[in-house]
């Protein structure tokens, strides 16, 4: 659920706090519009159009939800809604889901509204402490994680014949030409910095250029087979690649068919990221949207969603709900560290500082030249 660059925050596009809210029609219009990514909510096994957790909200509150799966790429969606937002016009959505690095851009531009936590007691109580205060949104005033995940390393244990424990293991001689990295700047840089021992919550330009120097050297040596989007999974399954940067949610699905595929949080650490819910400026049904966000932070609802999407659950209390399930496979999810990271893994996870608008042009130019974009 991640992406690339563009539209970096022109000062004239900034919307002041007092100009972000519209008249809220939540009281007299029991509805809301929600844009999300495809395949990112639970569906019914018998009816793919049915969404049990969402329909439970509609029954409980009487609020109808127009749920549209129209976000396929962060930049593409940014381009779609930015003309309205920079011109102080409504987007037609009351709720959207973006990757946190893109959420950072929306927050900086003043394109999203602060949520009223008085309407969100479940968020206040149950949001994972690791996710509560990223650098781009201290205290999570403007964003609430929908699902979370880890960028780490996936590898084929049987074909490689050994464990991987460090980012530097990707540069081993027996992996020459059998390694892939993520092509997107925002997706790739943090894990590579962590391999250098950098605190990614406050990395510097020097840290970034050091990573670029390393990756450029590995490209020239033929160590890296290619740079990929989400299609890295095909190379890992085929055996063309033996180790790669990967997302935890993808690996859970791959392991169902191939238990030899492992996912590791390197000893130096890995990046914890989220796709987060936001209420755009001039949303017509803000209070209704806030109620929906809070609905998904009930542990029972979060557990039902986690059992379907298999990402890192932002509600740790959902673990006990899954563990108590009568269904053996469902109960087993409670012990999966890629859904509920164990204490040792949690100590090694960090949310990276985002790339600012001032940094982006220079950094993207350097990275894209190495990657070949």
Q: Is the pLDDT of residue 218 over 70?
A: yes
| Mean pLDDT for the stretch of residues 105-132 | 98
Q: Is the pLDDT of residue 227 over 80?
A: yes
The Cβ of residue 169 has, within 10 Å, a number of other Cβ atoms equal to 20
Lowest mean pLDDT among 54-63, 215-224, 249-258: 249-258
Query: Which is nearest to 357 in space by CA: 41, 105, 99?
Result: 105
Task: Name the one residue in this structure whose structure tokens are 């018998």.
Answer: 46
pLDDT band (50, 70, 90) for residue 5? very low
**69/6: higher pLDDT:** 69
Pairing of strands 243-247, 144-156: antiparallel
Helices (H), the chain: 52-61, 74-86, 100-109, 121-126, 157-160, 185-195, 205-221, 232-238, 248-257, 286-295, 299-309, 318-323, 328-332, 343-346, 357-371
Q: Is the pLDDT of residue 78 over 60?
A: yes
Q: What is the pLDDT of residue 230?
A: 87
Lowest mean pLDDT among 9-23, 37-51, 75-89, 136-150: 9-23
Q: What is the pLDDT of residue 373?
A: 79
Query: Could you tell me the CA-to-CA distances from 119 to 124, 137, 286, 292 in Å, in that order?
Result: 10, 19, 11, 10
pLDDT band (50, 70, 90) for residue 3? very low
Q: What is the pLDDT of residue 276?
A: 98
Q: What does the alpha-carbon distance between residue 297 and residue 231 come to, in Å, rounded to a whole number?
A: 31
Q: What is the pLDDT of residue 98?
A: 98
pLDDT band (50, 70, 90) for residue 4? very low
Q: Is the pLDDT of residue 21 over 60?
A: yes
Task: Name the β-bridge partners of 150.
Answer: 272
Q: Is the pLDDT of residue 7 over 70?
A: no
| Mean pLDDT for the stretch of residues 290-315 | 97
Task: Name the one residue in this structure whose structure tokens are 């970034």.
Answer: 208
| Mean pLDDT for the stretch of residues 111-119 | 97
Q: What is the pLDDT of residue 251?
A: 94
Maximum distance among all alpha carbons in the chain?
A: 66
- Residues 6 or more apart whose Cβ sits within 8 Å of residue 47: none
Cβ atoms of 159 and 332 within 8 Å: the answer is: no
Query: Which is nearest to 223 in space by CA: 212, 233, 215?
Result: 215
Average pLDDT, the chain: 95
Torsion of CA 88, 91, 96, 101, to 10 degrees: -50
Q: What is the pLDDT of residue 1?
A: 52
Using the CB atoms, write b or e for 17-38: b if 16+ within 10 Å. eeebeeebbbeeeebbbbbbbe
pTM above 0.85, yes or no: yes
């Amino acid at each position: 659920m991640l992406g690339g660059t563009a539209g970096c925050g022109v000062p004239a596009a900034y919307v002041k706090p007092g100009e972000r809210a519209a008249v809220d029609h939540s009281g007299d219009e029991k509805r809301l519009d929600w844009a999300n990514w495809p395949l990112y909510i639970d569906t019914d096994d018998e009816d793919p159009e049915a969404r049990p957790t969402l329909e439970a909200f509609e029954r409980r509150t009487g609020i109808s939800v127009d749920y549209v799966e129209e976000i396929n790429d962060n930049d593409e969606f940014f381009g779609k809604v930015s003309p309205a937002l920079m011109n102080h016009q409504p987007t037609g959505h009351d709720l959207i889901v973006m990757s946190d690095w893109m959420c950072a851009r929306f927050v900086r531009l003043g394109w999203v509204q602060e949520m009223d936590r008085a309407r969100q007691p479940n968020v206040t109580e149950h949001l994972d402490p690791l996710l509560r205060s990223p650098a781009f949104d201290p205290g999570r005033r403007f964003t609430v994680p929908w699902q979370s995940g880890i960028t780490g390393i996936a590898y084929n244990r049987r074909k490689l014949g050994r464990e991987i424990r460090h980012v530097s293991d990707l540069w081993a001689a027996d992996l020459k030409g059998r390694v892939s990295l993520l092509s997107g700047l925002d997706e790739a840089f943090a894990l590579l910095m962590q391999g250098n021992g950098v605190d990614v919550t406050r990395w510097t330009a020097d840290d970034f250029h050091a990573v670029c120097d390393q990756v450029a050297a590995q490209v020239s040596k033929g160590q890296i087979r290619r740079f990929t989007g989400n299609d890295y999974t095909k190379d890992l399954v085929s055996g063309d690649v033996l180790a790669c940067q990967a997302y935890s949610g993808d690996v859970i699905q791959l392991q169902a068919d191939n238990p030899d595929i492992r996912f590791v949080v390197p000893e130096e650490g890995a990046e914890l990221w989220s796709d987060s819910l936001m209420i755009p400026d001039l949303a017509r049904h803000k209070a209704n949207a806030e109620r929906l966000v809070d609905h998904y932070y009930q542990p029972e609802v979060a557990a039902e969603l986690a059992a379907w999407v298999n990402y890192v659950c932002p509600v740790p209390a959902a673990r006990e709900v899954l563990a108590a399930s009568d269904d053996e496979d469902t109960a087993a999810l409670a012990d999966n560290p890629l859904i509920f990271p164990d204490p040792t893994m949690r100590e090694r996870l960090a949310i990276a500082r985002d790339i600012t608008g001032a940094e982006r042009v220079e950094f993207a130019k350097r990275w894209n030249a190495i990657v070949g974009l």
